[in-house]
Structure 1
Amino acid sequence: MNRFPGVDLDALRAFVAVASHASFNDAAIELNLSGSALTRRIKRLEEALDVMLFERTTRNVALTASGELLLPRAQGVLRELDASLELVTEATRMRAGQLTIACIPTAAKLMLPGIVSSFHRRRPEVRLRLIEANLATVMQRVANGDAEFGIAFLVNESPDLDIDELLVDPYVLACPADHPLAAGEHVAWRELRPWPLIVSGSSSGNRRMLDAALRDIDWRPERLIEIEHLTTSLGLVEAGLGISIIPRCAVPREAGARIAIRPLVDPTVARTIGLIRRRDAVLSPIARDFRLTLRRMAPVDPSMMRERS
């Protein structure tokens, strides 16, 4: 609660201006006020503090002892306020020219290069900050406002986040080219059970997506090798250490003659990659422009994505 309701910033600025000029007339000119309006502000301040701040004569305006005590403190308050407002304004200006995007690694590698290149040609003045992170970190960065957008997938619906769907990305089997599972055109999930499986850890977004989608077929992978990064799994597969499940967009163009990629069926499981944003966020003009660029360029099929990249 304000103990001095007559004390406000207008009154303090009026007081400091009069004290600095030792003149009501010069202070009124500086503040672009009429003489009567300036006098009312000083009077309101004096009445709120119940002191006289100036000794007035026909020729001079001088501070009283109370005015001398108040002046450096009022100047300090106004300096601190001006500095704080300048800091906020500068931060706003910097954010206005910067766009921060958090992205899962597979999308960062295959989706972003062409899109960022196109956006940069159109808006070269914009600073882009790209955060490559796992799904949980991408969600957190978007939710707390560190990133305007995330490019990822949602395992479960979120009341705080919206997703603009861009790409349906099915999971596929990666196995050695001479593996028995490579003989057919596609592979059912149940056929994977006898083989050592290289798969993401239980805390990863891809693993949680698979566990949720395959609950009805009693998905219980055994003989596991757990990995952190999808690219690691391909190296292990090529070395003959097991088979792996990866999103199709994570399959590199140079997968190699020693690795076979087969669709997984019964059921078909896919993740939907999209542009994730907070539902309550008001997009800046730069963010809206990037969103439009992404929606125009993002393909529906991962093979198209690799071609465009």
Structure 2
Amino acid sequence: MNRFPTVDLDALRAFVAVASHASFNDAAIELNLSASALTRRIKRLEEALDVMLFERTTRSVALTGSGELLLPRAQGVLRDLAASLELVSEATRMRAGQLTIACIPTVTKFMLPSIVSSYHKRRPEVRLRLIEANLATVVQRVADGDAEFGIAFLVNETPELAFDELLVDPYVLACPADHPLAASEHVAWPELRPWPLIVSGTSSGNRRMLDAALRDIDWRPDRLIEIEHLTTSLGLVEAGLGISIIPRCAAPRDPHARIAIRPLVDPTVARTIGLIRRRDAALSPIARDFRLALRRMAPFDPSSLRGVI
């Protein structure tokens, strides 16, 4: 039989909050309670235990000997409960088989389809939710916990996020198949200057990476067509409206495409695609399983970084 039937979790949370703040007012604010409601919870706990937990004056709140004895045990009960509830929640998510991933558009369109197809054959019960967004939004969705991890590249390091490399993705030239630059095996950046350039806007992660890597080179034409999404550029190139710089992963796979792809050199510039995750949050079992599938299909080769900016 329970000897303390009126001791409940709300009373313990109230006690721990008051003890932590040494203030009824601050504890009431933390718990979003009125002062009278908080006082009633503490009184209920004291009556159930038949002890005084706090010594109260008009200026201070201090634990009694009984309160000091109870505090670490109450904190342990609340910690154990939170850990148990998290365990149950994670198990539920695992059974439900849901994983949310944030990805930049080039990854969603050109890399993920084959990976997701292969993974789905092995784990058909897993439901994937893909958030397609620009680099800044992908990073924010991961940081906010809306996505368990992101697949993208990083322009700047962020202390609260970890980055696990998957593959190196060089930038290449995309031009019409009958364009004069298509006659070369590779193209140096200054050779782009005479031609209209289709380029992402200044808020784009790809644009910021290129600007940073090539700030000492006079390569950019004056005649620019700015687009919001890099994947739009291929249609404009095919229509003969200009040339564009795209990641190699976005290059057309169709051998009959009317677009020529040529390496850009002097220097070679690449972005490193990887998995972005929160440092302070452990990945769920499903996320760890999917990350393993990503690594198997997109292995990171550090030697491919040699000579690459």
Give TM-score scaled by structure 2 length: 0.67
Q: What is the match of residue 207 of structure 2?
A: 207
C-alpha contact 1:230 1:250 (8 A) present in aligned 2: no
Q: Return the alpha-carbon distance in structure 2 between the equivalents of residues 251 and 198 of structure 1.
A: 15
What amino acid does structure 2 have at the position aligned with 1:233?
Answer: S
Q: Check the 8 A contact 2:163/2:276 in 1, yes or no.
A: yes
Flag structure 2 segments of 5+ consecutive residues without an equivalent: 12-43, 53-84, 302-309
Looking at structure 2, the residues matched to 116 and 225 of structure 1 have their Cα atoms a distance apart, in angstroms, of: 33
Correspondence 1:9 to 2:8: yes
Q: 1:156 to 1:184 in 2, by over 3 A?
A: same
1 CA distance for matches of 2:272 and 2:49?
Answer: 66
The separation in 2 between residues aligned to 1:139 and 1:10, in whole angstroms, is 37
Could you say which residue in structure 1 is the equivalent of 2:258? 258
| 1:290-301 aligned within 5 A | 290-299=290-299
* Residue number among 45, 48, 56 corresponding to 2:48 in the alignment: 45
Residue 104 of structure 1 corresponds to 104
Residue of structure 2 equivalent to 1:275: 275
Residue 7 of structure 2 contacts residue 45 of structure 2 at CA under 8 Å; is this kept in 1? Answer: no
Once residues 277 and 88 of structure 1 are traced to their aligned partners in structure 2, the CA distance between those partners, rounded to angstroms, is 19
**Which amino acid is 2:135 matched to?**
L
Q: Distance in 2 between matches of 1:271 and 1:283?
A: 25
Return 185-194 or 292-301, whichever deviates more: 292-301
- Once the two structures are superposed, residues 190-234 of structure 1 have per-residue CA deviations (whole angstroms, 9 ceiling, x without a partner) of 111111100011101110110111112145442100012223211
- In the other structure, the counterpart of 1:130 is 130
- Matched residue SS, 1:260: strand
Q: CA deviation at 1:282?
A: 1.0
Aligned residue in 2 for 1:222: 222
Counterpart Cα distance in 2 of 1:42 and 1:130? 48
| Aligned-residue offset at 1:127 | 2.0
Q: TM-score, normalised by structure 1?
A: 0.67
| Counterpart secondary structure, 2:216 | helix
RMSD of the TM alignment (CA)?
3.2
Shift in CA distance, 10/281, structure 1 to aligned 2, threshold 3 Å: closer
C-alpha displacement of 1:43:
9.6
- The aligned amino acid for 2:250 is A
1:168/1:270 contact within 8 Å kept: yes
Query: Residue 174 and residue 43 in structure 1: after superposition, are their counterparts in 2 closer, same or farther (change >3 A)?
Result: closer
CA distance in 2, matches of 1:297, 1:43: 61
* Max Rg structure: 1
AA aligned to 1:298 is A
Secondary structure, counterpart of 2:185 in structure 1 = coil
Give the Å deviation of 1:122. Answer: 3.0
Q: Percent identity?
A: 80
The one-letter code matched in structure 2 to 1:9 is D
Q: Deviations over 1:119-164 (max 9, x none)?
A: 3333333221111111111111111111111111111122121121
Contact 2:195 2:221 in 1 (8 A): no
Q: Secondary structure at the match of 1:215?
A: coil
